Structure 1
Amino acid sequence: MKNHMQICRFSNLQSFTAAIFLTLFAALPTQQMFAQLSDAFDDGDFNQQPAWSGTSAFFQVVNQQLRLIAPPANGLAYLSTPSNALEDGSWEIDLALDFNPSATNYARIYLTSDQSDLSGPLNGYFIQAGGATDDVSLYRQTGLVTTKVVDGQDGLLNQTAVALSLKVTRDANGLWQLFSALGSSPSSLEGTVNDQVVLSAAYFGVSCVFTATRSDKFLFDNFIVTGHAVTDKTPPVLSGVQVLSSRTLSLTFSENLDQVSAETSGNFSLESNGEEPVSVILQLDGRTVVLGFAKDFANGFPTKISVTGVSDLAGNHMAAVRREFTYLEAVAPVAKDIVLSEIFPDPSPKVGLPETEFVELFNRSQHPFSLKNWNLTDGSSVAVLPSKILLPGDYLVLASPNVILTQVQNVIYLANFPSLNNGADDLMLKDDQGLTIDSVHYSDAWYGDDDKKQGGWSLEIIDPDNRCSERQNWTASDDPTGGTPGRQNSVFASKPDLTGPKLLSAVPGSASELVLTFDEKLAKALPGVSDFKIEPSIEVASVSFADAALTQLNLTLPSALLPGLDYALTVNHVQDCAGNNMAETLLSLGLPETADSLDIALNEILFNPRPTGTDFLEIVNVSKKYFNLKNWSVANREDGMIKNAKVISTTDFLLKPGAYLVLTVSSNVLKGEYPLSQEENFLEVPALPSWSDGEGSVALLDDTGLLIDHFSYTKNLHSPFIKDDEGVSLERISFDVPAYVPTNWKSASSTIGFATPGYVNSSAVPSLLWDESTVQVTPPVFVPSLGQPNFTQIHYAFAQGGFVANVNVFDLQGHRIKTIANNEILGTEGFFRWEGDRDSGDKARIGPYMVWFEIFDGDGNVTTFRKEVVVAAKF
């Protein structure tokens, strides 16, 4: 034992045995069972007997020990020497570290490596002394990936300096044992493992990872390595089959083959018909066999090759194996060769299918296609498809791996499967060249069933061969389980497109262009400029598509549209992609302008629908201007703050002067509840603000956030004669009175079904029947108590008597301060008097007020007059 390195050997017997091994090894160098490598550095050199190589400049033999002496900088240094010891192997090493090891300062002893360079990728095993857990552990390395296979005792090396004796053994069956002795402590077993991943060895070596202050503090000594290379007892394995052409296969084996067995044609046959190859050639690499057959393989269909009787150079014969391959004749796909045929965006609540989203593909073409590197995207995430051949007429389901789709055969689980939005989303299927093969912009309106769109049911395409239609060609599944993933759709039917396209809207994108939106995809051949006529006469300069889906046209105008004018657009001869012509269509439009407050009025609201019904809000364009409602919103307004805003439309929507528009989340439900409603004035929106049955608020805002109109309601605004206000809307009485005035709202009449969505209110004032001079306030300015006069009179004069009147005074905030008349029956002429007082008895403050004069007759006809009055003071 070297007195300069206090390391305890495993035992005196071990030292004696090692000496005998060295002696016998010298006498019998051909016997692999004895010591293959021994180096105690007693000769003061590491360049011979054995010769070490690597970063040699960083090592020296000092005091008969191998010592790292590297420059004071962070680095890695290694030495290696040839060694093929692995089977029945034993490795003994002494190691000293003159520091406390860490995650940045540790040593590795490479027991086996297939590379001499221990700093790069290799295959082998090593002991690591030190690291984050201060242990001694055994690792396997494949390439640059290291795997701990024996986890030693944590904290063992947490000492100021470390002196170690290490020993590792491996038997013929791949059982590894790791021993360590720290200082003068007895040897202990760190752990065992059976590992046969790496079966070859070429080098033994050491490696040091160090920082600048530890670059000279690693010491190694007393290497003893015994064992021999692993004996080849394993027959060759067919590791790969590659299709080279329609008649040629390349078979790759795990090791070099015996040429005679490898080139015997009877050892290979196609399972489908027993055909043997007409040519068999072993390639120069010794492990690849190329087979040539007399007939073409089936295109796109799996075929099995059977291999038997092939042996390696050691005479190990492989058992019979079968391997599947598929020949695919390359055919470039075109749009709609494969279609999105079923979409399951909302799996909850569960009906029958597992609660996981999926998309189904259907190959409607006559060709098989490889889907390798195709992708499915919703615009925000992209899922790349693996290698998969989709045969003609076959279905393929794409899904997230979170939940397994039981009883579905043809499924690919994609780690990055797009999250499908319940309400609406865009899906695109693209091939490996980026060509869009199919795309769908679905929405829950496609279900056509309000119950099924709540979840648990898939959307299915009706006719996969209808390449043009979208919404009209999709509907909710009829299958009792909620969908048909991987098989023909439950709603499958022949549904050819036999009708022409419909013009849904024409909206000026600017003063010199119009964007026309149609209900289906148009033919790729653009219509001519003569197919569009605009009155007052404006020529169309050019026509182009405005979107990739071919559902919008852009008309460029040589002269600008003028604000405040109504234009008539006539469209003719536009074809859909199925070749159907549209009927001649006439549409009115105008140049959208910027809205001012009160240009659009809140006109009707249903906040307490029947259990079978739905909320709605009606607005009316009371101006003479056109407005584009894109990005306008409806919200709640509480304490002057806008809350819970919901966008009306994310696309262009033109509201013309005098137009009524009903906002609802379900047009079908609303129409069913109120049969007299005008459905052509409905706009289905994704969501509306929350409106409670008792009280709430409504605010209408333009796309800049400008408050256009607002209203706060309570259920007390309903007529006292309404016993149950469920399903009864509140209607605005007059556009001349602000919406925030509570008395300007009234329950809808029972004679029209308690609501008038989409047309004039049952409570609306027939304002054209009255002249503004019918009600007068005289004087309009007065000084209470001290003034001359100190009161004002509200005069009225009607062509007939018998009207019932309510007369109130409101401040500018819409608060009623004085009730002057309540259900007073009027004659033909008369007046009411106000002395500037409040209902509380206090004097009204100085400032402007509004006299609200309402009359109604026995038929329920209501008319309202607004007059301004000012309370003044003397100074």
Structure 2
Amino acid sequence: MRLPVVCLLGLLNQLPAFSQAPARYDVIIHEILPKPTPTAGLPAFEYIELKNRGSKAWNLAGWKLGVNKREIQLPAYQLEPDSLVVFCSTAAAAAYNQPGIIGHPKFPPLADDTALITLYGPEAQVIHSIYYTRDWYGGPVKGGRSLEMADPSHPCTETNNWLPSPDPKGGTPAKPNAAAKQLEDDSRPDLLFASVADSQQVFLHFSKPVDSSIAANPGRYLLPGFNILTVKVLPPIFNEVALQLHKPLNPASLYTITVNGIKDCEGKESGLFLSAVIGKSAPPGPKDVVINELLFYTSPGVPEFIEILNASAKRTTADKLFFSSRKKDGSFSSFKALTQQARIIEPGEHLAFTTNPQALCGQFACLAPNQVLKVGSLPSMPMEAGSIVLVTADSSIIDEVHYSDSMHFALMNTNRDVSLERKSPFFPSDDMGNWHSAAGTYGGASPGFRNTQRQEAAVNSINIVLSPDVIFPDNGVVDNQAILSWKLPSAGYTGNIRIFDAGGKLVKRLSDNLLMGIEGSVNWNATNEYGEMLPSGIYIFLIEIFNLQGEATRWKKTIVVARKLT
């Protein structure tokens, strides 16, 4: 019997050799409800929603869904293109009682604040994985409200692509996401740091998932004097790469490894952070690493952070360190690991830890964004007072700070979104005089880089410089604005800076009650209070500086604004 061609092709497509395997991100994790109570209107059950963002239907038989270390086998279900399916417990499916929601007798529980969720294809390949934290909510976990992916076209963007559902019921299971919107994402896969697993294996840690087909090429990596034998991009997040070397590293030497052409799943490539140092390090001892800055009172959407500083002369690693706090009885709260990788901390290097680096650097000027690292959670930091302890796994104390809101600068209107900075890493951590509010010139915090109130060798006088003498606002690049810079003898100075024309008329309030750092600067681009360009002429800067000890000083400095003749 001869079969029609159409039937023959249908049979061939059912054979393994002719079946098409799903690619990564063909199906994505699209919505999750980690904390269903107190309910906003949905049944009080957790769920995970999947979306087929491809052009081919997939039968989910043989696929797996994992939450941390627990996995379940998915049942046979035909997931059509651009369609949704929700998996939950058997009791939850009965409570929802709507199409597209499937109950599973072994549905794994979702932690309220942090968990790794992974979708595996029929060949156990990772299709999509997310590592959610409580900061995806932009603040405290909102019970009864799901987390929704805003833009499925950015599947390898995590925190900024997930939002609490704005739906009045708290979520949209098996329905289009209420938080859906077009995402503007220009993040790149920066090389954050490198670590050494053993003498012939190096791990590279990137800021976001990378394209495995590109990152698996040994030619993308340069380590002078070494050949890269194999490269493995590590699942399930694919933001770590393991390199196998042809010979051992010298434990007494430092090496610089460089990457090139590494892209994310959307084809974007980093042009900034492309190299990292690897080599010998020593375990941290007491006061080798100190707690250097704390942000504990924040607005909604602004994450807290803890910054540490390597105050020693030796290279050490962060993977042996944990954050904790003190309970009322003086015992430690749960330990929070800084990192699972052997992240090197160079002498004098700052590292800030937060649950949402992108949100933190959207609020403050992160001058070293590769030194702002993501953690699943931080110890509780009450806004009135609390403690932060830096410890090793055996509870040895490396540093400890007891803070309170009274340690902030007394003349500030509010200390919300203002960090406490350590003045000197060599003065005691429990000395209240060794802490000060971060300068307003940096937006109120300095995560990952030198403190605005860092006190070095004593400065005997106030030094204020206005330059250049003449500015040319019509010049696009050179000398088109005035820079007023200062160096002060100590922290705690407040400044008022006003600009007058030659006739004594006030034209610009450059700053009022500005909390100044030890060093800093402000710019003026020859505009008035309304942003309008001022005419040519002589202008006078009046600078008033005072502190809580009653010291007050004022200066007058002049500058010329010159414009092209028309």
For Structure 1 versus Structure 2, the TM-score category normalised by the shorter chain is 0.5 to 0.7
Q: What letter corresponds to residue 547 of structure 1 in structure 2?
A: L
Indicate the residue corresponding to 2:228 in structure 1: 541
String of CA shifts for 1:164-218, please: whole Å, max 9, x gaps. Answer: xxxxxxxxxxxxxxxxxxxxxxxxxxxxxxxxxxxxxxxxxxxxxxxxxxxxxxx
Q: Determine the C-alpha separation between the residues in 2 that align with 1:575 and 1:719.
A: 45
Matches of residues 779-818 of structure 1 in structure 2 within 5 Å?
none
Q: CA deviation at 1:620?
A: 1.0
Mapping for residues 690-709 of structure 1, pairs under 5 Å: 690-709=380-399
Inter-partner Cα distance in structure 2 for 1:366 and 1:640: 58
Do the aligned partners of residues 408 and 436 (structure 1) sit closer, same or farther apart at CA in structure 2, a change above 3 Å counting?
farther
1:400 counterpart residue number: 89
CA distance in 1, matches of 2:171, 2:39: 11
Alpha-carbon separation, structure 1, partners of 2:222 and 2:119: 38
Residue 430 of structure 1 deviates from its aligned partner by: 4.4
Counterpart contact for 1:426–1:439, Cα < 8 Å: no
Q: Distance in 2 between matches of 1:513 and 1:628?
A: 17
1:414 to 2:104 alignment: yes
Query: Structure 1, residues 339-389: CA drift from partner, whole Å, max 9, x if none?
Result: 444333333444454332222334456665554564433254343444544
Counterpart of 2:173 in structure 1 is 485
Superposed, which structure 2 residues align to 1:22-101 within 5 Å? none
Query: Whole-Å Cα distance in 2 between the matches of residues 707 and 521 of structure 1?
Result: 37
CA contact (8 A) 1:570 1:584 kept: no
Task: Give the AA of the match of 2:117.
Answer: L
Aligned length: 453
Q: Indicate the residue corresponding to 2:46 in structure 1.
A: 357
Residue among 191, 213, 221 paired with 1:524: 213
Contact 2:150–2:183 (CA under 8 A) maintained in structure 1: no
8 Å contact 2:215–2:233 — kept in the other structure? no
Q: Deviations over 1:560-612 (max 9, x none)?
A: 55567654332123355666666485323232321122111122334455688
How far off is 1:504 after superposition? Answer: 3.3
Among 283, 287, 304, which residue is 1:598 paired with?
Answer: 287
Secondary structure of 2:388's match?
strand
Q: What are the equivalent positions in structure 2 for 1:153-302 lying under 5 Å apart?
A: none
**Does 2:202 correspond to 1:506?**
no
Task: Give the alignment's Cα RMSD to 1 decimal.
Answer: 4.6
Q: Which moved more, 1:560-569 or 1:510-519?
A: 560-569
Q: 1:627 aligns with which of 292, 297, 316?
A: 316
The counterpart of 1:440, out of the listed 129, 132, 143, is: 129
Q: 1:764 aligns with which of 454, 458, 472?
A: 454
Q: Secondary structure at 2:234's aligned position in 1? A: coil
Q: Distance in 1 between matches of 2:384 and 2:159?
A: 40
Cα deviation for residue 658 of structure 1 reads 1.4
Greater Cα radius of gyration, structure 1 or 2:
1
| 1:708 CA displacement | 1.3
CA distance in 2, matches of 1:598, 1:532: 36
Query: 1:529 & 1:329 partners in 2: Cα distance?
Result: 37
Q: Is the 8 A contact 1:399 1:413 kept in 2?
A: yes
The DSSP-based 3-state class of the residue aligned with 1:767 is coil
Q: Aligned partner of 1:512: which letter?
A: Q
Following superposition, the deviation at residue 545 of structure 1 comes to 0.6
Q: Using a 3 Å threshold, how does the CA distance of structure 1 residues 562 and 625 change in structure 2: closer, same or farther?
A: farther
- Is 1:556 the counterpart of 2:244? The answer is yes
1:686 offset after TM fit, Å? 3.0
CA distance in 2, matches of 1:667, 1:551: 16
| CA distance in structure 2 between the aligned counterparts of 1:341 and 1:330, rounded to whole angstroms | 31
Deviation at residue 456 of structure 1 after TM alignment? 0.5
Shift of 1:746: 3.9
Q: Deviations over 1:844-866 (max 9, x none)?
A: xxxxxxxxxxxx99589xxxxxx
Q: List per-residue Cα deviations over 1:725-760 (Å, max 9, x = no partner).
A: 665544323222232344433454566665444433
What is the rounded CA distance, in whole Å, between the counterparts of 1:652 and 1:342 in structure 2? 33
Relative to structure 1, is the Cα distance of residues 724 and 538 closer, same or farther in structure 2, using a 3 angstrom cutoff? same
Calculate the TM-score normalised by the size of structure 1. Answer: 0.44
Partner of 1:647: 337
Q: Which secondary structure state, in structure 1, belongs to the residue aligned with residue 429 of structure 2? A: coil
Asked if 2 retains the 8 angstrom alpha-carbon contact of 1:523 and 1:578, the reply is: no
After superposition, the Cα gap between the structure-2 partners of 1:512 and 1:727, relative to the gap in structure 1 and judged at 3 Å, is same
Structure 2 unmatched ranges of 5 or more: 461-488, 491-548, 554-566
Amino acid across the alignment from 1:523: S
| TM-fit CA distance, 1:624 | 3.2
Rounded to whole Å, the distance in 1 between the matches of 2:218 and 2:435 is 49
Q: Shift of the alpha carbon at 1:400?
A: 1.4
Are the counterparts in 2 of residues 463 and 473 from structure 1 also a CA contact under 8 Å? no
1:623 maps to a residue whose letter is: S
- The secondary structure found in structure 1 opposite 2:389 is strand
Q: Deviations over 1:432-484 (max 9, x none)?
A: x65336231231479475488665133237337x7x73538943356555444
Alignment partners' CA distance in 2, 1:711 and 1:451: 24
Q: Distance in 2 between matches of 1:454 and 1:577?
A: 32
What is the rounded CA distance, in whole Å, between the counterparts of 2:314 and 2:415 in structure 1? 35
Question: Given that residues 631 and 651 in structure 1 are in contact (C-alpha distance below 8 angstroms), is that contact kept between their aligned partners in structure 2?
Answer: no
Q: Does 2:305 match 1:616?
A: yes
* Aligned pair partner of 1:682 in 372, 382, 385: 372
Please tell me whether residue 376 in structure 1 is matched to residue 65 in structure 2: yes
Alignment counterpart, residue 435 of structure 2, candidates 722, 745, 752: 745
Q: Deviation of residue 515 (structure 1)?
A: 0.8
- Compared with structure 1, are the counterparts of its residues 561 and 613 closer, same or farther at alpha carbon in structure 2 (3 Å cutoff)? same
Aligned-partner SS, 1:764: coil
Distance in 2, matches of 1:695 and 1:628, equals 29
Structure-1 separation of matches of 2:61 and 2:413: 67
Is residue 526–residue 543 contact of structure 1 (8 Å, CA) maintained in 2?
Answer: no
